[in-house]
């Protein structure tokens, strides 16, 4: 009850901060209107050079207004359009998304997949982020992950990191994500 009272008293930011979590709350009305500005402004702020290291692995996405919607995010056309539009402006998910929140990571991957690979076959809440198996899925996943890695390396280099160190840091992040997606790095790419 004490934590609930704190939240109601406006201390929710402090509660999240103490937990090392940065919540990004995206409203359904913004998704349906295709308005990425509120989320984009927030994401730009947390990815500033001065916040780059403290905000790593802290971002958690929450989509307000979808609590009662039983569809997976990738099954909602306006959501996929919104997320792709947002990712065109800000694609640093690999660096910032909290790796302890697998739903966000799976959502990022599934919303980046081309429309013809998005499955409408999610059967249960546990399956809602299941990535469909199709012939060119491996190539698409590889392409998406390469893009996320390249954008992460660019972000780190712009922040002053040596390209070799930026590459190693990116592979470390990738190594956290891949098991969540049921994938792994080839042995030659693993970071020791």
Distance CA 53, CA 32 (A): 32
The predicted pLDDT at position 182 comes to 83
Per-residue pLDDT of the chain (192 residues; tens, 9 = 90+): 334 444 444 566 677 777 889 999 999 999 999 999 999 999 999 999 999 999 999 999 999 999 999 998 889 999 999 999 999 999 999 999 999 989 999 999 989 888 766 654 444 444 444 555 555 677 888 889 999 999 999 999 999 999 999 999 999 999 999 998 888 766 655 555
- What are the start-end ranges of the H helices in the chain? 2-8, 12-18, 28-33, 37-46, 77-89, 93-96, 102-112, 137-158, 163-180
The predicted pLDDT at position 177 comes to 92
> Scanning the structure block, which residue is given the tokens 């979590």?
21
The predicted pLDDT at position 5 comes to 40
> Scanning the structure block, which residue is given the tokens 């056309």?
77
pTM of the shown model: 0.80
The predicted pLDDT at position 116 comes to 63
* Whole-number CA gyration radius for the chain: 17
Measured CA distances, 44 to 48, 96, 152 (Å): 6, 11, 14
């Amino acid at each position: 009850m004490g934590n609930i009272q704190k939240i109601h008293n406006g201390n929710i930011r402090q509660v999240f901060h103490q937990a090392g979590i940065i919540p990004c709350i995206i409203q359904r009305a913004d998704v349906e209107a295709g308005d990425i500005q509120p989320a984009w402004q927030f994401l730009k702020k947390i990815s500033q050079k001065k916040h780059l290291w403290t905000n790593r692995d802290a971002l958690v996405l929450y989509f307000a207004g979808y609590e009662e919607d039983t569809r997976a995010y990738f099954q909602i056309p306006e959501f996929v359009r919104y997320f792709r539009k947002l990712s065109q402006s800000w694609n640093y998910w690999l660096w910032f998304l909290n790796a302890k929140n697998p739903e966000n990571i799976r959502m990022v991957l599934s919303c980046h997949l081309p429309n013809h690979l998005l499955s409408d076959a999610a059967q249960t809440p546990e399956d809602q982020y299941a990535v469909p198996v199709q012939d060119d899925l491996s190539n698409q996943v590889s392409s998406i992950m390469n893009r996320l890695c390249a954008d992460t390396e660019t972000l780190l280099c712009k922040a002053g990191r040596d390209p070799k160190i930026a590459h190693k840091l990116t592979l470390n992040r990738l190594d956290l994500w891949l098991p969540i997606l049921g994938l792994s790095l080839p042995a030659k790419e693993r970071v020791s």
